[in-house]
Structure 1
Amino acid sequence: MSIAKGTRLSHYEIRSQLGAGGMGEVYLAVDTRLDRTVALKILPADVASNEQRVRRFLQEAKAASALNHPHIITIHEVGEADSTYFIATEFIDGLTLRESLLIADC
């Protein structure tokens, strides 16, 4: 499931896909209420049909939101719109962990 640029999910406007994994897809988006760039993690529809995986997704957000550290992203919101679950987080532009480790090995 890839979401097209310009699609709106609640008050977030999708700009581009950043990545995908077993528990969701991550998009670069704009919070149109606060005019800020965010990373939007979206639980795919096939996963959202599994109640246990939805609970795990929401628990992940709750656990991460309890952390306060300069090296951990801030959770802005957990929500659901049009039967789609999402987590909106701080977006930090830069290298991925994988890229950083590859550079360190050189």
Structure 2
Amino acid sequence: MALRAGTRLGAYEVISFLGMGGMGEVYRARDTKLGRDVALKILPESMAHDSQRMARFEREARTLASLNHPDIAAIYGLEESGSMRALVMELVEGETLAERIGRLAPATDDHRSHVGSALPQELGPFCWQDAQSARGRRV
């Protein structure tokens, strides 16, 4: 999908691409109403027309909304604009698990393959963050 900086989704303005997960692309965006940066997890349009994928996406949103834990990024809401759907989440900055693994123990291709296959698709090594947010949360 590759959204460009400046693209709007409701009150959110895309700033930059952050990464890709099993259910879509993640962008840094600015909440123009509340004046804060957030993470937008955009469901690809091809998945937005798949009722099973949509149900999974909405289930993920409800699950996140039911959790309140210092190690889990908060969800702020669901946003829809045209055929685009997004989870609006707390932006957590820091080193990803993939970056940490690469920095601490450069791995062979076989090792990278094993680590990648051992994690659920939604929780791949680029989705994990080691960061301290403003509230002292580690995500």
- Considering the TM-score relative to the shorter chain, is it more than 0.5? yes
- The aligned residue for residue 7 of structure 1 is 7
- Cα distance in structure 1, aligned partners of 2:67 and 2:103: 28
2:95 matched to 1:95?
yes
Q: Which amino acid aligns with 1:19?
A: G
TM superposition shift of 1:57: 0.5
Counting aligned pairs with the same residue, the percent is 46
The C-alpha deviation readout for 1:52-71, integer Å capped at 9, x for no partner, is: 10110110111011111111
- Cα distance in structure 1, aligned partners of 2:23 and 2:44: 8
The structure with more strand, counted as a fraction of residues: 1
- Cα distance in structure 1, aligned partners of 2:60 and 2:77: 12
- Cα distance in structure 2, aligned partners of 1:95 and 1:61: 24
Q: TM-score, with normalisation over the residues of structure 1?
A: 0.92
TM superposition shift of 1:101: 3.6
- Cα distance in structure 1, aligned partners of 2:44 and 2:23: 8
- The aligned residue for residue 47 of structure 1 is 47
Number of residue pairs matched? 106
| Alignment RMSD (CA, Å) | 1.3
The C-alpha deviation readout for 1:50-101, integer Å capped at 9, x for no partner, is: 0110110110111011111111100001121112110000001111122234
Greater C-alpha radius of gyration: 2
The C-alpha deviation readout for 1:33-56, integer Å capped at 9, x for no partner, is: 000000000001011110110110
Q: TM-score, with normalisation over the residues of structure 2?
A: 0.71
Alignment of 1:28-47 (within 5 A): 28-47=28-47
Structure 2: gaps (5+ residues): 107-139
